[in-house]
């Protein structure tokens, strides 16, 4: 199964609204590995790896976010895949 890895950045009302735990829950339910972290500019950033379909699904869920969040923009770019990563961590 071909793996794909992206770097993502979510902007909007995304800190202090459980966005990171929401992201971790979504990633685990889809089977995506990687991490999510709050950035100093108020965005949430991270990397995610999985099948093409899983990544597509993951990004769609990032656009939605938890009910208390308000996502204005999601940027993503392809990065090289990592081997031996297991799980999805909140940093």
Catalytic residues: 20, 38
3-class state of residue 24 by DSSP = helix
Residue 10 burial class via C-beta count within 10 angstroms: exposed 0-12, middle 13-18, buried 19 and up: buried
| Structure-token match 């790896």, residue found | 49
């Amino acid at each position: 199964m071909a793996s794909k890895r992206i770097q993502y950045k979510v902007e909007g009302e995304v800190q202090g609204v459980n966005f990171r735990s929401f992201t971790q829950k979504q990633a685990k339910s889809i089977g995506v590995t990687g991490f999510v972290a709050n950035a100093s500019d108020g965005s949430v950033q991270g990397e995610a790896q999985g099948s093409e379909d899983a990544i597509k699904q993951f990004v769609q869920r990032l656009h939605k976010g938890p009910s208390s969040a308000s996502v204005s923009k999601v940027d993503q770019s392809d990065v090289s895949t990592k081997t031996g990563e297991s799980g999805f961590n909140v940093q």
